[in-house]
Structure 1
Amino acid sequence: MDSTVGTTGKGILNAKAGEQKYSLSRHQPSEELSGFVQHYWVVRWDLRGQEPYRQTVLTHPNVNLVFEKDSTRIYGISRATTTRLVEGFGGVVGIKFKPAGFYPFWKTSMSELTDRSISLKEAFGVESGQLEDEILSHDEIEPAIERAESFLIERLPEPDSNAELINEIVRTIRDDRKIVKVEDAASRAGMHIRTMQRLFDRYVGVSPKWVIKRYRLHEAAEALEKGEAQDWVQLSLELGYYDQSHFIRDFKAVVARSPEEYIRGLHA
């Protein structure tokens, strides 16, 4: 199957530098899993004889199941940035679930998984060793993804209408810059704010306010990297901030650098 998907690198900080250190490909799920899985992703690198590389990611509102040698885990949403040390030779295969896509498998409030990770045994009651070996032993990407798919299909849950609704709301927040407040998202969905907040806590693990802010910060980081942010006031307004000081504060709180410092780091 030719399943490669051309999604953007939003959330990967200083993505151009990372492209020189590792390869990243994304692959669409089968129709059977399309209601639960956003895509599969595969990262491979060969830095033998080179300095290790640290890749920082501004995470999305998604759970990821990551198959890695002796370290297979299911990662909840991280509200801060995450940094991965890439060194030597290796690779990982990941399953990125839709924002509400992991809840039907786990049947536990996703807020219990926010800022933490669990083992395959904790989530599915199985040890990860054999499955990890079967997936990572393939030189070709296609059979590795097919094995990961078969694992989920064997445990396929029933469709969940609430999960489908939340996935649609998150997709709208992601794609529509005009949504800058929870009230905007709730109005668009025809839903009470408190109802939306409860559903997000259960199915996603973070608040709708957090999701809106995170997607706007993704856009900010991408604009900075592309050199498109020349007017701080205008960028702040476009991202839903009342003034640039609030935008700069939020950016620094999450990325640990001000926008100016981030730009200097890109040039360095």
Structure 2
Amino acid sequence: MKRPVQDDNLSISTFVPVDFDLQAPPPDLADYINTFFVIRTDEETLDEMMPAYSAQLLVYIRGRSHIAAGSGEIEQVQQVTFTAPLMQAMPVKVSGPLLLVGASLTPLGWQCLANTPVDQLNNCMLPARDIMDADTIARLENLADEYGGGKIGCDPIFEAISETLRARRGAIRSDHVQFVHRTMEWLSSGLSPSIDDFYRDAAMSPRTAQRLSKRFFGVSPTRLIKRYRAIRAAMLLANPALPQPMRDEIRNSYFDQAHLIRDIRRYTGRTPTALNDGSIAHESLYPEGHGEGAKILRKPLE
């Protein structure tokens, strides 16, 4: 299918062929994996914007992709690489042809593997050796080589990732797991959930709730609302079949149109009018790829 590429001014320049496929995780890992995905393109070079997205485990079959670090430098990646949670949209450069298999990790999934507060590690790519043991990395590398050689499909890679998460999912304290579940339920209660409801339902002191919010989500609850509201608004506005009343509800959740445009651009790298352009960034805004955090969006779009 045709996918347009965006220039530095967030306008459409050319069209490139990109395939972006999603696969649901096993039911027992829904708390840890948002979705599995496969990305393919035959283009040699592709410049994109990646929305503020969850952590990802990436297994490159061929080609590479890189994001610009905060310093403006390009992070170099290995065959098995992690992207830490993104707090804002980041420039991505694809060196193709690209065939990439991966998993989008939930806040619990990322902490199971990285065990590092998100407010201390974000907006970057890092080699798997910083998080995984050598045997697990070697297994994924071998599967990637077999997939590239046509011996297997992507499912064995998904299975290996699943086994890794199953082995680590008991690493998080039960009260922290409950906090994440309550936070996701709160975020799913509306496009602009009440911060008072968050603290009322947190079942802990405000200071502890703030600390855990930064550990698992990277920001305070107030800023978390802002990010999720912008991403959800982008998901909805990117859907051409969205009913007008729902569009009006999105716009009414912002003080004015300027705030809507600014937040969507900050967290998706695009203006609202460019959200349905079919780019890789647009594909990453499908609600199916965002797990529990996008539950509120699925029923209206069915």
Question: Once the 2 structures are TM-superposed, how far is the Cα of residue 198 of structure 1 from its aligned partner?
Answer: 0.6
Q: Which gives a bigger RCO, structure 1 or 2 (Cα 8 Å, sep 6+)?
A: 2
TM alignment of 1:155-194, pairs within 5 A: 155-177=168-190, 179-194=192-207
Please provide the CA RMSD for this pair. 3.6
Aligned length: 244
Residue number among 123, 132, 135 corresponding to 1:124 in the alignment: 132
Residue number among 15, 20, 24 corresponding to 1:23 in the alignment: 20
Residue number among 84, 109, 116 corresponding to 1:101 in the alignment: 109
Quick check: 1:104–1:160 contact (8 Å CA) kept in 2?
A: no
Amino acid corresponding to residue 219 of structure 2 in structure 1: V
2:82: which partner in 1? 74
2:37: which partner in 1? 42
Question: Once the 2 structures are TM-superposed, how far is the Cα of residue 98 of structure 1 from its aligned partner?
Answer: 1.9
2:211: which partner in 1? 198
Matched, 1:147 2:160: yes
Identity, in percent, stands at 20
Question: Once the 2 structures are TM-superposed, how far is the Cα of residue 192 of structure 1 from its aligned partner?
Answer: 4.0
Report the TM-score when normalising by structure 2: 0.65
Structure 2 residue runs of 5 or longer lacking an equivalent are 1-9, 62-77, 279-302
Quick check: 1:63–1:96 contact (8 Å CA) kept in 2?
A: yes
Question: Once the 2 structures are TM-superposed, how far is the Cα of residue 199 of structure 1 from its aligned partner?
Answer: 0.6
Q: Note closer, same or farther for the CA distance 1:162–1:116 as it changes in structure 2 (3 Å cut).
A: farther
Q: Note closer, same or farther for the CA distance 1:172–1:98 as it changes in structure 2 (3 Å cut).
A: same
Amino acid corresponding to residue 59 of structure 2 in structure 1: F
Q: Distance in 2 between matches of 1:159 and 1:251?
A: 32
Question: Once the 2 structures are TM-superposed, how far is the Cα of residue 19 of structure 1 from its aligned partner?
Answer: 11
Question: Once the 2 structures are TM-superposed, how far is the Cα of residue 259 of structure 1 from its aligned partner?
Answer: 3.1
Q: Distance in 2 between matches of 1:58 and 1:121?
A: 25
More strand by proportion, 1 or 2? Answer: 2
Cα deviation digits, residues 216-259 of structure 1 (max 9, x gap): 1122213332344868875332x3x3333332332333345543
Cα deviation digits, residues 110-160 of structure 1 (max 9, x gap): 322112232222123437762332232233222121122233444554452
2:226: which partner in 1? 213
Amino acid corresponding to residue 36 of structure 2 in structure 1: W
